[in-house]
């Protein structure tokens, strides 16, 4: 029998059968916990809330007109845009979470909000990648990427590649699409048109 640091051999019937010890691949040496960033307490709470909620039943346009203000309906249902610097959350600096105004699904958290100078609330990432959906928007002379709620398809705004680290993204959202819950508190049983917290 032949032996070395990385190779062993066995002679059978005049033939030398080699066995080669292959070291682990580099990625096999990385603990699973080091491969994924830790979730914040707000992200964990949002995921838990989504698991416990019953299936979402879309509302009719008539129901949405009764539920939403004219501006909220225009923005969320017709991909409208509210005025810059004259909306509810553009300068909101309080800690908390932003939910979809239509279905109340968590969408963004205040820790990802930053001052973009655009006059609309801006975030560098959603609260969860699955909380939002995307589609191409060709309504202007240049193409944009539209952002909407992944559950009810309510229009939120657009995402651009001029945001800060760590993502480099700027999710430029409409306040009319969002409902703010201060301090990460549990959802309040109020009508979605109510002001939960003033900026």
The rounded radius of gyration (Å) of the Cα atoms in the chain is: 25
3-class DSSP state of 129? helix
Q: For residue 196, count CB atoms less than 10 angstroms from its CB and return exposed for 0-12, middle for 13-18, buried for 19 or more.
A: middle
Cβ atoms 174, 82 nearer than 8 A: yes
Is residue 152 annotated as part of the catalytic site, yes or no? no
Query: 100, 103, 149, 172: which one is catalytic?
Result: 172
The CA distance from 194 to 174, in Å, is 16
Question: What is the SS3 assignment for 144?
Answer: strand
For residues 122 and 163, is the Cβ–Cβ distance under 8 A?
A: yes
Residue in the structure block whose two tokens are 């640091």: 5
Query: Mind telling me the catalytic residues?
Result: 172
């Amino acid at each position: 029998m032949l032996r070395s640091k990385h190779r062993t051999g066995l002679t059978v019937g005049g033939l030398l059968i080699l066995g080669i010890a292959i070291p682990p691949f580099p990625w096999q040496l990385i603990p699973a916990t080091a491969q994924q960033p830790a979730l914040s307490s707000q992200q964990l709470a949002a995921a838990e809330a989504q698991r416990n909620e019953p299936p979402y039943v879309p509302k009719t346009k008539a129901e949405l007109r009764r539920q939403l203000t004219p501006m909220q309906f225009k923005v969320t249902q017709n991909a409208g845009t509210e005025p810059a610097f004259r909306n509810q959350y553009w300068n909101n600096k309080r800690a908390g979470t932003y939910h979809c105004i239509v279905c109340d699904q968590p969408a963004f958290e205040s820790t990802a909000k930053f001052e973009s100078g655009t006059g609309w609330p801006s975030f560098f990432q959603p609260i969860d990648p699955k909380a939002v959906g995307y589609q191409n928007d060709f309504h202007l002379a240049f193409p944009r990427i539209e952002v909407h709620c992944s559950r009810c398809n309510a229009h939120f705004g657009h995402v651009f590649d001029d945001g800060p680290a760590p993502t480099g993204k700027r999710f430029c959202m409409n306040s009319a699409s969002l409902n703010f819950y201060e301090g990460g508190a549990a959802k309040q049983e109020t009508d979605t048109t109510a002001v939960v917290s003033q900026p």
